[in-house]
Amino acid sequence: MASVEKRVRDGSTTWLARWRDPDGKQRKRTFPRKVDADRFLTTVEHGMLTGSYVDPAAGKVTFREYAELWRAGQPHRPNTAKAVEQHLRCYAYPVLGGRPLAAVRPSEVQAWTTGLGATIAASTTRTVFNTFKAVFKAAVRDRLISHNPCDDVVLPKVPARKVEPLTVEQVEALVAGTPARYRALVLLGAGTGLRSGELFGLQVRHVDFLRRTVTVEQQVQQLAGHEVHVCPPKTQSSYRTVPLPQVVVESLAEHLRLYPAGPGAWLFSSTTGGPVVRTSFQHAAWQPALRAAGLTGVGMHALRHFYASALIRGGLSVKVVSDRLGHSNAAMTLNTYAHLWPDDEDRTRQAVDGLLGSGAPVVPQAVPVVGISAGQRA
């Protein structure tokens, strides 16, 4: 039962609010005025009735303490877990790590976010902020705080950047400049659009030479010290079967002739027999290929862009391109590649001309009247 008691000590009067929380634990809080104690108990009782009760003392835990507990309980993949730890340690903890959760104000979060935007890229700022916001969202769900101070924070805009796909000649130069052991891997990336982790995660059993397809059902991620982690694809939509062009089929057949492997073995393996990892591939294959092709600042994702552009030039729909790339939805595909689709102005004209161009009535033009005064025209 909630109650307010008057307390007098050393000539000063205070008011003690008592209540039991939803777990039945006795709680109390002191106020200088009775009206404040009554108002507080009204809020407490309303929160317990509506299920929105928050323990006033719970928000005293610091952001760092709670974030570390939150982080330890997340089902993150190794790469994601590493990124989250870096986001918090490098950007959030130095500024707000020691603050109690309930003491962090929206204005402080806005100032912190704006400051990030002045030192790191807008896209990175958004990624760091999303991690920060997720911690507070969990704290609200755990009823440690009543609201998320990250709500309505204005984020920096990410500058629009148009993908400029590699040319056929550049891809051919990359393939030719790649060491023989990984040449088919580069061609497979350009011919299927698979992500680098998906390429590294392929086993021989995933290639169907009869149907000319490759199945994506796992990927390889690199951990510290070149250790690898085999895990599911990025999203549910990333599980897919991609058609193999004949040039890629022939390249893979030649690759397996030179580097024989059983169905359960890695399609592309390192010199030690394990799966390929990103850093060793970059050093042993990709960087030499870039130098041979006369390219700089190009990552493996450029092969994926080349594949998407090839499908678009071939007249395939947004839905097909999205499915082949393993995107979660077609909107993601359009956001990245809309500028590569051919302009529809000519198609619009052709569509209307096809209906009205043959035997359509000609609308007579207005004939100007010469030599008649304004009064006469009226």
Averaged pLDDT in 10-residue chunks for the chain of 378 residues: 82 85 78 85 75 69 94 89 94 95 94 93 94 95 89 90 92 96 97 96 97 96 76 93 96 96 94 87 94 94 96 93 94 90 71 68 53 44
pLDDT, residue 378, reads 39
Class of 168-321 in CATH:
mainly alpha
What's the confidence (pLDDT) of residue 131?
A: 96
C-alpha angle 54-59-62 in degrees, rounded to nearest 5: 160
Q: What is the pLDDT of residue 211?
A: 97
Query: In this structure, are residues 142 and 183 in contact, taking their beta carbons and an 8 Å threshold?
Result: no
Q: Map residue 20 onto helix, strand or coil.
A: strand
| Predicted local distance difference test score (pLDDT) of residue 253 | 97
| Tokens, residue 110 | 């806005």
What is the strand order of the sheet 3-9 is part of?
A: 3-9, 12-20, 26-31
User: For residue 307, what pLDDT is reported?
Assistant: 96
Instruction: Give the pLDDT confidence score for residue 374 in this predicted structure.
Output: 44
Structure tokens at 147: 């609201």
- Residue 1: per-residue pLDDT: 66
Residues 82-105: b if buried by 16+ CB within 10 A, e if exposed: eebeebbeebbbeebeeebbbebe
What are the Cα distances from residue 162, in Å, to 67, 126, 338, 339? 36, 19, 9, 7
Q: Quote the CA–CA distance of 197 and 218 in Å, as a whole number.
A: 8
What's the CATH code, domain 60-141? Answer: 1.10.150.130
Question: Looking at residue 84, what is its pLDDT?
Answer: 95
